[in-house]
Amino acid sequence: MFLKTWLPYILLCLSIAASAQDRGSFSGTLQTNVNFFVKDAAIGAVNIPQYDEGLTGVDTWLNLNYSFKGYNAGVRLDFFRNSNLLIPTAAYSAEGLGKAFINKRFDKLFVELGYIYSQIGSGIIFRSYEERPLLIDNALVGARASYDLSENWTVSGFAGKQKNQFSLNEGLVKGGSIEGYYATGSEDTPISFSPGIGLVNRTHSQQTVDRLVNIVRQYIGEERIGLKYNTYLASVFNSLNYQDLTFFVEYAYKSSEAFRDPTAIRTELTGKQTFGKFVNEPGSVLYTSLNFGDKKLGVTVEMKRTQNFNFKSDPTLNGVMGLVGYLPPMSRENTYRLTSRYTPTTQDLSELALQTEIRYRYNKKLSALANFARITSLDDELLYREYFLQFQYKQKRKWLLTAGVQSVNYNQEVFEVKPEVPLVETITPFIDFLYRITNKRSVRTELQYLRTEQDFGSWAYGLVEVGLAPHWLFELSGMYNIDPAKGGDKIFYPTVGAVYNYKTHRLGVRYVKQVEGIVCAGGICRLEPAFSGVKITLNSTF
């Protein structure tokens, strides 16, 4: 069975590799994650098939690319066994062709066939992309072409069905854009514009329409909504550049379509009222960002207003599956363990968000960064607020000190669908110190303390990382529930790991105990259960 599934791909890869010895260029990447699940009821790492039966999970992506005389082609083979990436509480096993493409530029014309990754504007009405930590891969399987109308203007179009692991979602997605560049002003004070317009149309398959009809026919009286095969989206965007200033604005509109609103109240046949039903509404997003940057000061202000913009290739799909567009996240992408513990999920039905970041460099040694984010629903319900302040001091190449504090208000009831839980309020001071002993030896330490009276209570986190360049990196860290809320237990979550680098290959082995929390990748977040076990990762580029 294994060979039957894989043999054609392997033969294809070998033939590409063989020809690569003579001409053209051949490259590839391999990523493998192996998880060993060790049950730990104390931290909640139980009741998931991997802990009860599978015990081991494997995720592998083998990517092979070949370029020859302007032709680019590639395949990716994906392999999953007892994987917890697709649905964190279930085991997913499958293997097959994850991606295949060929493209070529013919002077002004560019043509691509296969699994297409692309976007229009900032991606609001269309973005096909991959986020492996959440197993999102919504490539469009079809064709794309673009044509350079002039040196500064390009028109493009695409059509296809959206990938859903090893099958295709039913809806047919078509679209196009025209994007350009226009400069004016004097030589000393040039002003440039990068305007664009994008259009997308999705046509439901008969199967999806039948499914929607069967759902909607259960609705009574006025709650019954109209259904159509087609939905249209359009976005207009422009980036204006003037000296150190960049101003980007995009407005996207979606025509009326049926989508699931989990907050809408539905009357059942029995008269009882429940949450969640399909509604038929138009949607819109307004996104704008203003950037200013010179040698000393950098300022970014972003604003986004989202209303009813849940757009999927098949609206009956759950969670993040089937998303055609991408709504830019409006909070800081934090990297430290405790400052990233409470991260907001983008709200596609009702969100008003504002984010400001100011960076200032006093001198070569000292710099500061301040960030403020506020996200509410359109009804002004506070969803998320963050104040972040960080200082960095660099002593030549010898040591680097980073220190700061973060304060967060996080609406756990909305983001994690936990009933009657209060707004989580945190204050998190942190310090990060990197010391280079020699050119090849370094030690990095982190200390963080998250104080909160809600959720699991307060946490302390410490990390020691020893780097022995060019090969080794050792990590010892621990997260401790120092002041548990609701009479919970004081639990220690240790991590011990080592990473070995050899040329373009990287092997990591980590023993991990990880508390339940939100995991975000590329602006999309989801709640993941606790993890207990060993994680092995291998990354290779060749």
Q: Name the residues that contact other proteins, by CB under 8 A.
A: 46-47, 49, 52, 87, 89-91, 149-150, 152-153, 155, 178, 180, 195, 197, 199, 201, 207, 209-211, 213-218, 224, 226-230, 232, 234, 255, 262, 268-270, 272, 274-277, 316, 318-319, 413, 417-420
93: which 2 tokens?
């096993």
- What sign has the CA pseudo-torsion 37, 43, 48, 52? positive
Q: Are strands 524-528 and 154-164 parallel, antiparallel or unpaired?
A: unpaired
- Closer of 152 and 541 to other proteins (Cβ): 152
Check if the beta carbon of residue 48 is closer than 8 Å to that of residue 89.
Answer: yes
Q: Which is nearer to other proteins, 234 or 403 (CB)?
A: 234
Side-chain half-sphere CA neighbours of 363 within 13 A: 5
Nearer to other proteins, 113 or 191 (CB): 191
How far, in Å, CA of 22 to CA of 73, rounded? 16
Distance of closest approach, residue 317 Cβ to other proteins, in angstroms? 10
Closest approach of Cβ 380 to other proteins, in Å? 17
Report, in Å, the least distance between residue 321 CB and other proteins.
10
For 348, how many CA atoms within 13 A lie in the half-sphere containing its CB?
23
Output the smallest distance, CB 366 to other proteins, in A.
Answer: 46
Q: Which is nearer to other proteins, 89 or 541 (CB)?
A: 89
Residues in CB range of 235: below 8 A, 6 or more apart: 120, 121, 124, 125, 197, 198, 250, 251, 252, 253
Whichever of 19 and 230 has its CB closer to other proteins, that residue is: 230
Cα-based angle 136, 100, 157 (whole degrees, multiple of 5): 80
Nearer to other proteins, 209 or 507 (CB): 209
- How would you label 453-481 residue by residue, b for 16+ Cβ within 10 Å and e otherwise? ebbbbbbbbebebbbeeeeebebebebbb
The distance of closest approach from Cβ of residue 217 to other proteins in the complex, given in angstroms and rounded to an integer, is: 5
Minimum CB separation of residue 242 from other proteins in Å reads 21
CB of 24 or CB of 180, closer to other proteins: 180
The distance of closest approach from Cβ of residue 51 to other proteins in the complex, given in angstroms and rounded to an integer, is: 11
Provide the H-helix boundaries in 384-482.
Answer: 412-415
Distance, C-alpha 453 to centroid of its chain:
29
Q: Which is nearer to other proteins, 91 or 330 (by Cβ)?
A: 91
- Minimum CB separation from other proteins for residue 197, in Å? 6
User: Closer to other proteins at the Cβ: 200 or 499?
Assistant: 200
Check if the beta carbon of residue 508 is closer than 8 Å to that of residue 499. yes
With CA atoms as reference, report the closest residue to 204 among 113, 126, 316.
316
> Which residue do the tokens 């930590």 mark?
133
Rounded least distance, CB 414 to other proteins, Å? 9
Contact 415, 421 (CB under 8 A): no
